[in-house]
Structure 1
C-alpha cells in the first residue's frame, strides 16, 4: 500500500512539474499545441503548419532524462525528447499519452495517436519524421536553435512556431558570424583579389550553412576536421557560440536565484524539527546541484573562449581550438542541457515567488519547489 502511495505521489509531482514548466515557458519544452493555436489565430494556412500530419501540431515536446537504464544505454545522448498527446483539446497535462522520439515503437504510436500515414512512401510522413529528428537532436528547444536548424534543412513553416522576433534572430546570427570571421580570414589568408571582402563574407555565410565542404576545404583542412564531420562540427560550434551569448545575458538572473537560495529559503511557518531537518537537507542538495551546473557551464565556455582567443587574438597555438572543435558536438549538448535545466529551475521558481519583493515561501510551497527543482537539476 505504501508503495502505491509513493508512486501516486511521484506521478502527481511529475504532473505538477510539467504543468509549471508550461506555465513558465522553458527551453526544455516546445509547446507546439499552444503555438499552433496562435498560428491559426493569425490566419496560418495548412501549407504553413509545422507538421503535415495534422494532430502532430497539437502535441507538446519535452526534453527529459530517460527513466531507466536500458533506455539510457541504448540512447546516443543522455537526454531524450518526449512527445505528449493530451486527452484534452487544450493540451492539458492531467491526462494523455507520451513516448520518447527514439522509441522503436514511435512510428506505430504516431499512426495511432496522430493519424500519421503508415506508408513507407509517404512524403508527408517522411518530412514530419525529419522534423522530429531535428527536435530530438537539439540539446534544448531554444527558438533560435530550432528555427536555424529548420532553415538549414530547408523547412519554412509559419514564424509563429518560433518565439523569437526576426530582429532578435538577426542579432544572434550576426553575433555568431562575427566569431566565424577570423577562422575564414586565417584559412584564406592568401586571398589577394580586389573583391576579398565580398569573397570572405561569402565564405562566412557558407560556414554558417556548413554544407559546402568544397568551398570550406581550407578551413576543414586547417582545423583537421574530417569531411564527414564538418557539417555537424560547424553546427555544434555555432550552438556553443549561441549558448555563450545566452550565458552572458543570464548572469544577473542566475545570481539573483543563487542569492535567494542562500538567503531566503526559510519557510514562513513553523514545523516539527524532523520535517525542518528533511527540508534543510533537500535545500542543501538543491544549492549543491545548482552550483555544480553553473560551474560546469562556466568551465566549458571558458575552455572554448580561451582556445578561441589563443588562436585568433594572441595568434598562438591552434591546438587548443582544434581540440575544442573535435569535441564541439559533445560540448554543445552538455552546455545546452545544463543551461536549459538551470533556466527551467529558475522559471519554475518564478512561478512560486512571482515578482514580489517578499520572496519567502510557506513550508508546503518550499518543500514542493525544492523536490521538483532537485529533480530538474539532477537530471532525474
Structure 2
C-alpha cells in the first residue's frame, strides 16, 4: 500500500480529480490573507492541513473475467485495434479514500502520514492521532466536520464540480476557494445536466396546463437536488424505482451525466495522450541500447493497455446510457432499457468515475512531466520514471 500512496504523493501538484489538496489551499489562504476561521473548509484546524486521495482498493481490485475487449487507438495517423483483458465493474466500496497529513505544510509532497478512511477498525483513534480531531465529540462544528468527511467518502472522485455540488445539495456552506471551478464553468455543467433531465418531465407534467412551464422547471430542480422524494414520487413510480434507493439513483444519474459532459469536453486531450503513447512521442529522445528500448516498449504497452481499458469502459457506459435515453426520450420507444440503466446507475456512476479519473490522472501526470520537452520526448531515464508512474496511477 505504501508504494501506491507514495505514487500519489508524487503527483499532488497534478491537480488530478483523485486529489483534494485542502492543505495547499489552506496554506495559500493563510499566506495571502492571514486567514479567518470562516475562510477555512473545516472547523477543526488539523483537518485543514489534510489532503484527500481517492484510489481503487488493492483488496477490491477488479477480478479478471476471462473475456477480452478491444479499443481503437490512433497510431501513425491510423486507427489500431488493441485487445486487452476485461475486468469486473468498479462499484461503491471498491474505491478507498485516504487522508494524508504532510509533515511540513510548506512541502506537502515531502512526506507525511496517511490513513485509509474506508477501514473502520481503529479509524477514530487514528484520525485523532493524525489530526487531533475527536470524531465522537459533540457540537455543531464537530458534526459539520464529520458530515464533510462523510460526503467526501461518498463521492467516487474528487472533481471540484462534484465536491461543490454535493456540499450545496447537502446544505453545507464552504469557502469557494476550496473548489477550483469558476461559477461560469459550474453553471455550464449544470445547464448541460438540467437539459438532460428536462424530457423526463413529459411523463408527469401535463403540457396543456397553464402552469406547465413553471411546474416543469420546479420538477427539474427537484430532480437536480434529489432530496424531496415525496415530490418526485410520481417519476419514481413511473420508472419502477425502489423508493428507498430513489435518492441515490437520481444522484447517480446526475453523476453519469456529469461524466458524459467531462468525457466529451476532454476527449481530444485523451486522444492526444493515446497518440503520444502510440507514436514517436513515448520513445527516448536520444539513442539507447536495444535492451533498454525493449524495456521501454514493454512499459508503453502496459500503460497503453490500462489506458485503453478505461477508455473502452467509459465509452461503453455512455453508449448504454445514451442508447437507453434516446430510445425513450428522443424516439419515444421502449422504456425498459432506461429503467434498467436507472437500476444500475449507482454502479455505472462509480465505474465511469473510476475510469475517467484514472485517465485524467494519467494525462495530468503526463502533461506535468513533458511540459518542457520537445515533441513530448524525454531522456531514457526520465521516460522510464514517467512510464512507471503512469503504470501506477492509471488503475
Q: 2:160 aligns with which of 135, 139, 143?
A: 143
Match of 2:14 among 24, 29, 50: 24
Report the equivalent of 1:38: 28
What whole-Å deviation, never above 9, does each CA across 1:51-80 have from its counterpart, x for those lacking one?
Answer: 11111011011112324469x9xx952221
Match of 2:247 in 1: 231
Of residues 163-172 and 37-46 in structure 1, the stretch that sits farther from structure 2 once superposed is 37-46
1:87 aligns with 2:106: no
Kept after mapping to 2: 8 A contact 1:311/1:317:
yes
Q: Which string of whole-angstrom CA distances, capped at 9 and with x for unpartnered residues, describes residues 89-126 of structure 1?
A: 22523321101112222221222221213544343333
Q: Which one has a larger percent strand, Structure 1 or Structure 2?
A: 2
| Structure 1 residue corresponding to 2:235, chosen from 201, 216, 219 | 219
- Offset of residue 192 of structure 1: 3.8
- Correspondence for 1:305: 322
8 Å CA contact 1:20–1:351 kept in 2: the answer is no
Counterpart of 1:54 in structure 2 is 45
Secondary structure of the structure 2 residue equivalent to 1:93: helix
Between 1:152-161 and 1:277-286, the stretch displaced more is 277-286
Where in structure 2 are the equivalents of 1:154-233 lying within 5 Å? 154-188=171-205, 190=206, 192-233=208-249
Contact 1:38 1:160 in 2 (8 A): no
Q: Is 1:314 the equivalent of 2:331? A: yes
Distance 2:278 2:299 in 1: 13
CA contact (8 A) 1:52 1:124 kept: yes
CA distance in 1, matches of 2:113, 2:227: 37
Q: Is the 8 A contact 1:177 1:204 kept in 2?
A: yes
Quote the offset at 1:271 in angstroms: 3.4
8 A Cα contact 2:115 2:127, kept in partner? no
2:72 alignment partner in structure 1 = none
Gaps of 5+ in 1: 1-6
Instruction: Identify if the C-alpha distance between structure 1 residues 138 and 276 changes in structure 2 by more than 3 Å, giving closer, same or farther.
Output: same
Q: SS at the partner of 2:115?
A: strand
Task: Give the corresponding residue for 2:82.
Answer: none
Native 8 Å contact 2:283 2:296 kept in 1? no
Find the aligned partners of 1:234 and 1:355 in 2 and give their Cα distance: 44
- Following the alignment from structure 1 to structure 2, what is the Cα–Cα distance between the partners of residues 231 and 59? 30
Task: Determine whether 1:279 maps to 2:296.
Answer: yes
Q: Helix, strand or coil: the match of 2:101?
A: strand
Which secondary structure state, in structure 2, belongs to the residue aligned with residue 185 of structure 1? helix
Shift of 1:226: 1.1
Q: Count residues in correspondence.
A: 364
Q: What is the alpha-carbon distance in structure 1 between the residues aligned to residue 270 and residue 136 of structure 2?
A: 48
Q: Write the distance in 1 (CA, Å) between the matches of 2:296 and 2:197.
A: 48
- In 2, the alpha carbon distance for the partners of 1:164 and 1:34 equals 16
* C-alpha separation in 1, matches of 2:21 and 2:29: 13
SS in 2 for 1:323: helix
Asked if residue 332 in structure 1 is aligned to residue 349 in structure 2, the reply is yes
Choose between structure 1 and 2: higher helix proportion. Answer: 1
Which residue number corresponds to residue 3 of structure 1?
Answer: none
Q: Does structure 1 residue 246 correspond to structure 2 residue 255?
A: no
Query: Does residue 376 of structure 2 align to residue 359 of structure 1?
Result: yes
- What is the distance in 2 between the residues matched to 1:236 and 1:78? 16
Gaps of 5+ in 2: 64-90
Q: Specify the alignment match of 2:86 in structure 1.
A: none
C-alpha RMSD of the superposition: 2.2
Q: Distance in 2 between matches of 1:184 and 1:43?
A: 49
SS of residue in 2 equivalent to 1:332:
helix
The CA distance in 2 between the partners of 1:43 and 1:153, in whole Å, is: 29
